[in-house]
Structure 1
């Protein structure tokens, strides 16, 4: 009998439990516009609330929170102030309530939550309700932050102090995460919020002492213009002025012709003696090649890479053979490259009778210096060629047979190899060939008159010697 009573009691309890749970389920299913389970929004349990009611409760709570709020963000003597007018509640509340309600769909999980009193929490942060929050914070950061400024050097080759170094300046970076954390934590406990913006110092990459070993005189080379005529001196001077002050960046390639263009009267150049097809003649820009040659040798001594260089058709008087640098706009150029890791600085000028180029930068390591050496053998010339002036082109010089006028001297040729020699102190540590040039021998040219000597006329003694080939001398 007792067993029967116990069985009936258990059956009634089970039936009652099922009816209760079914009622809950039916209630939830029947009213899908209310929250089921323990849903918390900003600390408010909205279980059983409609969306509209939940929205109103959450909205009232936030508006109460921001009523009379005052936020001061400070940095130095700057203050940025915000109050409740900087907040916008409606959209943020709608978003959080909508998100919470989407998670309100009834399922076995919801039933478990109801039985176990499990809570689902949804919140709106200060960042959600602060109008244009990201923009306003970024504007504050922009006003505070300062980019670090590298130390710089100004090259003034014509001044007594050629290099003027502007010191570096540290930068300022806002600790944005610390600012956000501070705002969030104070907002949760107070309506009066004071935030001191935390920053950190950003050091520049290049400081003034970076230049300590990078502005030394690397090389200096000069050639003489003592016997040059006025037009030629002018052209050497103009070309060097155009080069003066050039700063060449690492891996930069530089063209002499580009630096000194236009190589005509509009560029300040004049007519002077030039070499054309192995003959000295008058032409525009004579002397520019001496400027390029002076630069070339300074570049060699500074151990810079030469990409293009050309010899003259005949040797020039102002530099050793195989160390000249002939240029011709549109035809031949002097091109070099800064293969170092640092800038190089070129100073070029005429002083008295000297054309000078100085190159500054970082000196070679371990005190290494460079010297130039040219070694050569001579090639015999073929003597003079006598040309009879049948067309009277040189009638103002010679008229009769046996009268001679020298147009060109015979010149022996040269087979020359130029080297760079590296020294550490007085010790030669390396030698490398940089150029091999052959200057062909030049035949002399003598003009002879074409007319027969009148009867009874005696020519004065001639001062022109006709030279045979050197091999026959």
Structure 2
């Protein structure tokens, strides 16, 4: 990742990266409150500028997770603009106009899930469910695999709620989802993301445990073949969602895989629930 440098040269403040390419340029007069005799910083404009810089330097952290072999892939910290330090640098530039070149201040952003936590909560399997699908239906199988990947390694902390729609996100062609059979008002049709209700239904049956509160679940308008009657959980981006709340005192780890016609969800936690 390129380092961004701040270059303060009297009336202008130029932001360049480590290659010397200009990223942005600030003019002192643009941040001055003109109706005052004495120069004061227009704080609203400075906040907007910091938002712009934040977009350019922000790097989201990556949670630790398990690979297919069950090995821990360590977390990676991210970064964001250090607004406090940047404000100090800008004030020095604004009020003195002295020439100053310095690295744009950033601070680390740490992930919620680190290797230590993953190692602790993968110890005990507390829920497990398997459903089956036809691998020959390539589009539907592809959608199931994408949705399973989206919820795999997701950690639900104590007192936290899980929303299938929020975690998986909107199902679009841009994200790789394909048209496949869906049930709409009791009738079979085709739509982008068809098949993912098998993932939400498998998850529902895996988390239907004493310490987990199902807060939102809807059945399809007609029976589906992959779970017993009344054991499904239909989802739609503009409609039903599947949600549950972790009432245990320990985090929960979701492991989800779709392979060779098998949709498998397991729920893990630490020994001390």
SS of the residue corresponding to residue 267 of structure 1 reads coil
Structure 1 position 259, deviation (Å) = 1.0
Question: Quick one: structure 1 residues 364 and 326, their matched pair in 2 at CA, closer, same or farther if it must change by over 3 Å?
Answer: farther
Structure 1 position 215, deviation (Å) = 2.6
Work out which of the residue numbers 264, 267, 270 in structure 2 matches 1:356: 264
Structure 1 position 285, deviation (Å) = 1.0
Q: CA RMSD in A?
A: 2.7
Aligned residues: 171
Question: Quick one: structure 1 residues 317 and 251, their matched pair in 2 at CA, closer, same or farther if it must change by over 3 Å?
Answer: same
Q: Please, what TM-score do these two structures have when normalized by structure 2?
A: 0.57
Q: Please, what TM-score do these two structures have when normalized by structure 1?
A: 0.34
Partner Cα distance (2:175, 2:209) in 1: 29
| 1:112-150 residue CA offsets vs partner (Å, 9 max, x unmatched) | xxxxxxxxxxxxxxxxxxxxxxxxxxxxxxxxxxxxxxx
Structure 1 position 293, deviation (Å) = 0.5
For structure 1, the 5+ residue unaligned runs are: 1-152, 166-207, 366-473
2:121–2:251 CA contact under 8 A, matched in 1: no
SS of the residue corresponding to residue 249 of structure 2 reads coil
1:157–1:244 CA contact under 8 A, matched in 2: no
Which position in structure 1 is the counterpart of 2:157? 249
1:246–1:347 CA contact under 8 A, matched in 2: yes
1:308–1:333 CA contact under 8 A, matched in 2: yes
Partner Cα distance (2:178, 2:204) in 1: 23
Question: Quick one: structure 1 residues 315 and 248, their matched pair in 2 at CA, closer, same or farther if it must change by over 3 Å?
Answer: same
For structure 2, the 5+ residue unaligned runs are: 1-62, 76-115
Work out which of the residue numbers 176, 180, 186 in structure 2 matches 1:278: 186
Structure 1 position 353, deviation (Å) = 1.2
Partner Cα distance (1:354, 1:260) in 2: 19
Question: Quick one: structure 1 residues 350 and 302, their matched pair in 2 at CA, closer, same or farther if it must change by over 3 Å?
Answer: farther
Partner Cα distance (2:204, 2:191) in 1: 23
Question: Equivalent residues in 2 for 1:67-466 (5 A)?
Answer: 154-162=64-72, 215-226=123-134, 229-301=137-209, 303-362=211-270
2:217–2:233 CA contact under 8 A, matched in 1: yes
Structure 1 position 226, deviation (Å) = 2.4
The 4+ residue runs of structure 1 with deviation greater than 3 A are 162-165, 211-214, 362-365
| 1:171-201 residue CA offsets vs partner (Å, 9 max, x unmatched) | xxxxxxxxxxxxxxxxxxxxxxxxxxxxxxx
SS of the residue corresponding to residue 208 of structure 2 reads helix
1:214–1:363 CA contact under 8 A, matched in 2: no
Which position in structure 2 is the counterpart of 1:70? none
2:121–2:252 CA contact under 8 A, matched in 1: no
